[in-house]
Amino acid sequence: MKKAPFITKQQAEEISKKYPTPFYLYDEKGIRENARAVQEAFSWNKGFKEYFAVKATPNPALIQILREYGCGCDCSSLTELMLSKAMGLPGSDIMFSSNDTPAEEYAYADKIGAIINLDDITHIEFVEEILGKLPETMSCRYNPGGVFKMSNGIMDNPGDAKYGFTTEQMFEGFRILKEKGVKHFGIHAFLASNTVTNEYYPQLAGELFELAVKLEKETGADIQFINLSGGVGIPYRPEQMPNDIRVIGEGVRKVYEEILTPAGMGDVAIYTEMGRFMMGPYGQVVTKAIHEKHTHKEYIGVDACAVNLMRPAMYGAYHHITVLGKEDEPCDHMYDVTGSLCENNDKFAIDRMLPKIDMGDYLVLHDAGAHGYAMGYNYNGKLKCAELLLRENGDVTMIRRAETPRDYFATLDVLPVYEKIDFDVTEQGIRQ
């Protein structure tokens, strides 16, 4: 499968006149088409809701697009809860799935009516002490331990993950919660990350459905929803086949009707918390080649760095690269594509075959729409770039401005040196 950028070289040149590189660019058309497909794939389940994982792409302009298709928000921190509340989401549309959670975050989640998804059995008493009384609806995160296997091998290792209740703790936890007045229950699990297979959700659903039947039978708990969380991935490499969400939805429906419906649980709602699948393919980093270096290897230096997209540096993750205007030229030059951080792992590509790159060429880093901008940081005093939205009509809107030195130094306003910082410095001013 060939990966195509959202824009041409000419469009990049025009956009960069107003918004200098590097910048994030999101594709509104793609986001909308994908959101519709998700809703259609699970339309067989009356209570279905996608709770978008805010951690993946915490931009309200993008989340608002998903809201138009019935999506809620999956939050993992106080600030994500605050953002969801500010956007006007009702509590029922906010799922709070966190771990090692501070008391004030549970208190705020309850204040705004969010559904609390507990990560550990000890948090039952913790939350009760904070709130005085447990909410009527609560969820528990399940971790069966061991490894999660599918037909194509081991997918992940839940046994090494810090998250969730054990099987025994789920039964004990439901009994305790029921005794303490909880009336409605949910089950949540995330057992594998970035799966590029249509089998993951159906297999996970089967395990959770069987657990739900046993829990309801043995504890008498009223299970209202089962949350499949995230884990549905995207094809970062061109040779990978993308997931088909409609096939996935049909697979979940099949096991639902095989397990839940015969058990008299045909009214249980299905929830998902996808981030990468909802937004990943629809965000790209646009950067410019500004240096070339010929030493022991051939290097192309760009004006983006790991501050803008840290997945390659952090995980060795692959992000496909397109050189705009040279899409049809042969990839007959081997490069390391690097950023400017004082870290040798600040590389977007290593030994990557690409067309000949000239200074001033625009490079597109694909599939950066989730866990891209959100994971940025300020090492070396680097500033995070702008986020832009490519509208369906071709217009470009800024949905987050680039950071400035004033943003970077803002928390030093408690020190005298803050008053001496030259905030009037500009690129042109430096040259003069």
Can you read off the two tokens belonging to residue 181?
């007045």
The pLDDT of residue 162: 86
Separation between Cα atoms, residue 288 and residue 371, nearest integer Å: 21
DSSP 8-state secondary structure symbol assigned to residue 410: G
- The residues facing 107 across adjacent strands are none
The pLDDT of residue 82: 98
The pLDDT of residue 157: 72
The pLDDT of residue 151: 61
- DSSP sequence for 216-250: HHHH---EEEEE--S-B----STTSPPP-HHHHHH
Domains of the chain and any CATH numbers: 28-280 (3.20.20.10), 281-420 (2.40.37.10)
Cβ–Cβ < 8 Å for 206, 259: yes
Separation between Cα atoms, residue 70 and residue 48, nearest integer Å: 9
In terms of DSSP H, where are the helices of 308-382?
Answer: 311-315
For residue range 353-412, what is the model confidence (pLDDT) as tens digits?
A: 999 999 999 999 999 999 999 999 999 999 999 999 999 999 999 999 999 999 999 999
The pLDDT of residue 146: 78
Q: Is 360 in a helix, a strand, or coil?
A: coil
Can you read off the two tokens belonging to residue 28?
């509104």
Q: At what angle do helices 167-179 and 123-131 cross, to 10 degrees?
A: 30
Neighbours of 142 (CB within 10 A): 27
Can you read off the two tokens belonging to residue 46?
């009356």
The pLDDT of residue 153: 60
Residues of the chain with pLDDT under 70: 1, 150-156, 426-432
- The residues facing 184 across adjacent strands are 137
Ramachandran angles phi, psi of 41, nearest 5°: -65, -30
Separation between Cα atoms, residue 332 and residue 326, nearest integer Å: 12
Cβ–Cβ < 8 Å for 353, 318: no
Cβ–Cβ < 8 Å for 308, 403: no
